[in-house]
Amino acid sequence: MKAKHQRLALVAFAIVAIVAAGLIAAWTLRNQANYFYLPEQMTAEPPAVGQAVRLGGMVQAGSITPQPDGITVKFIVTGNEESTVPVKYSGILPDLFVEGSGVVAEGSLGPDGVFQATNLLAKHDENYVPRELEGLEGHNAADYAADTTVGIE
Amino acid sequence: MIAELGLAALWLATALSVLQIMSGVMGLRGDEKGAVLAMYARPAAVVQAFLAVFAFLLLLWAFAITDLSVKLVATNSHSMKPLIYKLTGTWGNHEGSMLLWVAVLALSGGLLAWMERRLPEKTMSATLAVQGFVALGFYAFLLLSSNPFERLPVPAMEGTGLNPLLQDIGLAVHPPTLYVGYVGLSVAFSLAMGALITKQVTPDFAKVMRPWVLFAWVFLTLGITAGSYWAYYELGWGGWWFWDPVENASLMPWLAATALLHSVSVLAARDALRTWTIMLGVLAFSMSMLGTFLVRSGVLTSVHAFAVDPERGSFILALLALYIGGALAIFAFRAGSIAEGKRFSVSSREGALVFNNVMLSAILAIVLLGTLYPLLTEAFDVRVSVGPPYFNPAGAIFAIPMFLVMAVGPLLRWKQDKPARIQFELMLLASVLISVVALVAILGDYAILPVLGLAFAVALAIASFLPLRGRNIARVPTATWGMVMAHFGVAVALFGMASESAFTQERLAAVTPGSTETVAGWTIALEGVDPVAGPNWTAVEARLSVARGDEEPTIITPQARNFWAPAQATSESALITRWDGQLYAVIGDQSDDGRWQLRVWWKPFVTFIWYGGLLISLGGVLSIIGRVRVDLKRRRATRKARERRDDKIAIGEQAQPEPAE
């Protein structure tokens, strides 16, 4: 093989690999489109039972009910519309998890229609003033919850 | 006065960066006129470094004394804060962290100008011009849109404080480390552009570039490791990697830098991969700029994204487009004119390195697309979130062949080799892989990726030492030890990740003082819950008496803290570390009937993740030491040879008979 051919082969290989990466990414990302659900989406087109998804929305006022075992809570997540999804979570609640706040629940839908959360993400605000969490309503909360999908906070 | 002095220093540094660009460009002319002005490029870079660092020290001082007439201090600090967090708070905000970034940038430019004497003068001129250009953009960004020294019309009575999450020693080290890495890549970028402009992409150039890449890469590795550990113990979730966009922003330059590191080594040792190395130099710095953009522009909402200011976002985006666009344009014009390097066969050390370079680039593409995708769809009002179900499998498709080749590559010879020669090693590695997979599969029902991870980790750990087989250990070069150590570090980290994912055990319970829980052979007894207070927080603290088997119990104290400036709650996990893992405890809320939520994890070999990171960095440090030692030895040898020659001439002169009067 001449040097020039070798260089071409190298470039071709690199391009093939990067394009493959792009295609794999595109294909997987298309499936990811149904990874994040708003409550109205979850009621309209529920994900398969047991499929790992995220549910984002607002914690409905007055809906947080601690269970007798002391570690489980049930609450209801609402979004822009009237749709609601009941959620069950066992674990330590995030510090900013309060009624009316945005929340993202990671988990899967159970056969009984209750979302079984394995992890709750509530958000810290970028100015470090959690006050911004108060007074969020409806549309705001849903937008806000969707932003919360960065896992680190 | 302090603030005005800092601002003046910054403006002066900006002026010097303009001088640096002009003299660097003049140096390219190569005639006498150019040479006169070119002389100023190096001093301009060095003085600029002093000024920028001086400005940063002044801001640090303003934070130390809590000068509440400075807006930045008033909005990000508090007089009641412990001194250490007053100091670290300097870079716990947008303006301060950008000043730190600029200071590190100027410092590395200054070091380059001061120390680097091996490059051809013209290439050095071009490099310094590019470095000055990068610096100028960031000075402009700082001075025009994020002035850290802005005064308040009326000094504040009290500061608003610092996010309690950031009041942690992890914050003291994590961002500066990462910045040194990011900015170190700017030097690699400038060097690559300089060499490209003067068409001097040679092994000698690669030898100059290599320590800078290594240096940046070591700091990136340390920064990512520290950040991961910080998130792990401070956020109270027990997770070590979340595929958060901000984490990805540091992972992407690391991937590019890792590829660059290997390709620059090929160029230095074998004179191959010339254009590829330049391309990666541009890519690596692009990724660190992109990281800065993602974190600083407010397009992400995250604990790291301080600024939600579209103007700032556009500014960095413009800089990104200017630098990367410019670099790619020069690349397109010049790439064809770079002479070809040496050829090599597919089955050779170079071949393996190229393969892994491409795999790293593919993983980079996966991470990049996954990180940007939500931003793209949001432009069309579709909100998507991309998480582990995307990154893990998509990344693994390229990581698995990469780990395979990584195990075999260092065993191959340069230029050309036959796989048959390393038959024994190949068989050994294959059997290790198969037996680990079989063993874990028999033991239980685990997910496929952690099992593969374990198998690759074990095989890679063995493979990383195989290059030493049959060699005189005492005579192995330090740089080779660096490679062995870094590759072993990857195996160790991989082992920790896979083990944590596969074998973690968890106990979640509502407990009252006196009750006992068990997890993975540990007994955990709650002795009591007490109120405690710190300098700027109060907390409830659980006293847990934990013991494994029959051993003496140890007391650990997880806390749920409440800060009051600003008002925020955090949970402080309690950890107990053993050689084979960590016990991780978090205390939650008290329920109405008086029981406390308690969550305890046993995470086997989780610490290996960060030990691995440290080993990888250590490998980088060893490589730097090895290279520098070889260089010094060579330099000493040339000096000796010159002295000997001079001596000879001197002796020759003496031998000449004195002219007679």
Contacts of A119 in chain B (CB under 8 A): 237
The DSSP H or E segment spanning B472 is none
CA distance A36 to chain B (A): 6
The DSSP secondary structure of A69-121, one letter per residue, reads: TSSEEEEEEE-SSS-EEEEEEESPPPTT--TT-EEEEEEEE-TTS-EEEEEEE
* pLDDT recorded at residue B607: 95
When pLDDT is averaged across residues A104-131 and rounded to a whole number, the result is: 69
Residue A144 assigned ligand-binding role: no
Residue B596, beta-bridge partner list:
B511, B590
Q: The complex's ipTM?
A: 0.79
Cα distance between residue B595 and residue B271, in whole Å: 68
Among candidates B303, B361, B374 on the partner chain, residue whose Cβ is nearest the Cβ of A18: B361
Non-local (6+) Cβ contacts of B161 within 8 A are: A128, B76, B77, B78, B81, B536, B563, B565, B566
Q: Examine the pLDDT at B5 and tell me if it is beyond 90.
A: yes
When pLDDT is averaged across residues B150-157 and rounded to a whole number, the result is: 83
Residue A128 assigned ligand-binding role: yes
| Residue A130 at interface with chain B, using a CB cutoff of 8 Å | yes
Q: Are residues B495 and B525 in the same domain?
A: no
* pLDDT recorded at residue B39: 85
Residue B517, beta-bridge partner list:
B524
Q: B85 is written with which tokens?
A: 């967090």
Q: Are residues B41 and B111 in the same domain?
A: yes
Q: Examine the pLDDT at B73 and tell me if it is beyond 70.
A: yes
The DSSP secondary structure of B454-465, one letter per residue, reads: HHHHHHHHHHHH
Contacts of B390 in chain A (CB under 8 A): 25, 28-29, 32, 35
Non-local (6+) Cβ contacts of B125 within 8 A are: B23, B24, B25, B26, B27, B28, B38, B41, B194
Strand, coil or helix: B572: strand
Contacts of B247 in chain A (CB under 8 A): 152
Contacts of B246 in chain A (CB under 8 A): 150, 152
Lowest mean pLDDT among B243-247, B289-293, B299-303, B539-543: B299-303
The DSSP H or E segment spanning B90 is none
Contacts of B537 in chain A (CB under 8 A): none
Q: Are residues B43 and B120 in the same domain?
A: yes
- Indicate whether B481 belongs to any domain: yes
Q: What amino acid is encoded at B337 in this protein? A: S
Counting Cα atoms < 13 Å in the Cβ hemisphere of B540 gives 13
Q: How far is CA B150 from CA B71, B136, B352, B573, B660, in A?
A: 6, 20, 53, 38, 78
Among candidate residues A73, A69, A81, A52, the one with its CA nearest the CA of residue A122: A73
Q: B264 is written with which tokens?
A: 């620059």
Per-residue pLDDT tens over the stretch B191-233: 999 999 998 899 999 999 999 999 999 999 999 999 899 888 8
Among candidates A35, A71, A152 on the partner chain, residue whose Cβ is nearest the Cβ of B510: A71
Q: What is the dihedral of CA B538, B539, B543, B546, to 10 degrees?
A: -120
* pLDDT recorded at residue B419: 83
Cα distance between residue B196 and residue B331, in whole Å: 7
Cα distance between residue B221 and residue B209, in whole Å: 18
Cα distance between residue B388 and residue B368, in whole Å: 14
Contacts of A65 in chain B (CB under 8 A): none
CA distance A39 to chain B (A): 13
Q: What is the largest CA-CA distance in chain B?
A: 116
* pLDDT recorded at residue B656: 53
CB–CB contact B588 A119 (8 Å): no
Q: Where residue B30 falls among pLDDT bands split at 50, 70, 90?
A: confident
Q: A120 is written with which tokens?
A: 């709750």
- Indicate whether B304 belongs to any domain: no
* pLDDT recorded at residue A139: 41
Q: Are residues B612 and B490 in the same domain?
A: yes
- Indicate whether B565 belongs to any domain: yes
**Nearest Cα residue in chain A from B276:** A11
Q: Where residue A70 falls among pLDDT bands split at 50, 70, 90?
A: confident
Lowest mean pLDDT among B29-43, B405-419, B502-516: B29-43
Q: Are residues B482 and B586 in the same domain?
A: no
Q: Where residue A1 falls among pLDDT bands split at 50, 70, 90?
A: low
CB–CB contact A54 B385 (8 Å): yes
* pLDDT recorded at residue B383: 65
Q: Where residue A148 falls among pLDDT bands split at 50, 70, 90?
A: very low
Q: How far is CA B572 from CA B339, B540, B544, in A?
A: 58, 10, 14
* pLDDT recorded at residue B482: 94
| Residue A13 at interface with chain B, using a CB cutoff of 8 Å | yes
| Residue A21 at interface with chain B, using a CB cutoff of 8 Å | yes
- Indicate whether B31 belongs to any domain: yes
**Nearest Cα residue in chain B from A106:** B387
CB–CB contact B571 A92 (8 Å): yes
Q: pLDDT exceeding 90 applies to what percent of chain A?
A: 16
**Nearest Cα residue in chain A from B305:** A126
Residue B603, beta-bridge partner list:
B582
Q: Are residues B434 and B550 in the same domain?
A: no
CA distance B444 to chain A (A): 21
Q: Are residues B126 and B59 in the same domain?
A: yes
CB atoms under 10 Å from CB of A37, counted, come to 25
CB–CB contact B362 A20 (8 Å): yes
* Best mutation target, B224, B301, B308, B573, to test chain A (most A CBs within 10 A): B301
Q: Are residues B40 and B152 in the same domain?
A: yes
Q: Are residues B436 and B566 in the same domain?
A: no
For residue B564, the enclosing domain spans: 505-606
Q: Are residues B553 and B470 in the same domain?
A: no
* Best mutation target, B246, B255, B385, to test chain A (most A CBs within 10 A): B385
Number of domains chain B is built from: 3
Q: Are residues B443 and B589 in the same domain?
A: no
The domain boundary residue, chosen from B142, B165, B188: B165
The domain boundary residue, chosen from B129, B148, B165: B165
How, if at all, do strands A53-59 and A36-37 pair? parallel
- Indicate whether B626 belongs to any domain: yes
Cα distance between residue B298 and residue B269, in whole Å: 43
Residue located via tokens 């290997």 = B262
CB–CB contact A123 B301 (8 Å): yes
Q: Where residue B317 falls among pLDDT bands split at 50, 70, 90?
A: confident
The domain boundary residue, chosen from B587, B606, B625: B606
CATH of the domain at B11: 1.20.120
Highest mean pLDDT pick, A105-119, B171-185, B353-367, B565-579: B353-367
Contacts of A152 in chain B (CB under 8 A): 231, 235, 242, 244, 246-247, 302-304
Pick the residue with more confidence: B358 or B82? B358
Pick the residue with more confidence: B437 or A6? B437
* pLDDT recorded at residue A125: 38
- Indicate whether B299 belongs to any domain: no
> How many contacts does A have with B, using Cβ atoms within 8 A?
168
Per-residue pLDDT tens over the stretch B437-448: 999 888 888 888
- Indicate whether B282 belongs to any domain: no
Q: Are residues B573 and B533 in the same domain?
A: yes
> A 49-108 residues with CB below 8 A of B?
52, 54, 56, 66, 69-71, 90-93, 95-96, 104, 106
CB–CB contact B386 A150 (8 Å): no
Q: Examine the pLDDT at B151 and tell me if it is beyond 80.
A: yes
Cα distance between residue B292 and residue B369, in whole Å: 17
- Indicate whether B407 belongs to any domain: no
Cα distance between residue A138 and residue B4, in whole Å: 47
B58-B110-B199 Cα angle (round to 5): 150
Mean pLDDT, chain B, as a whole number?
Answer: 87
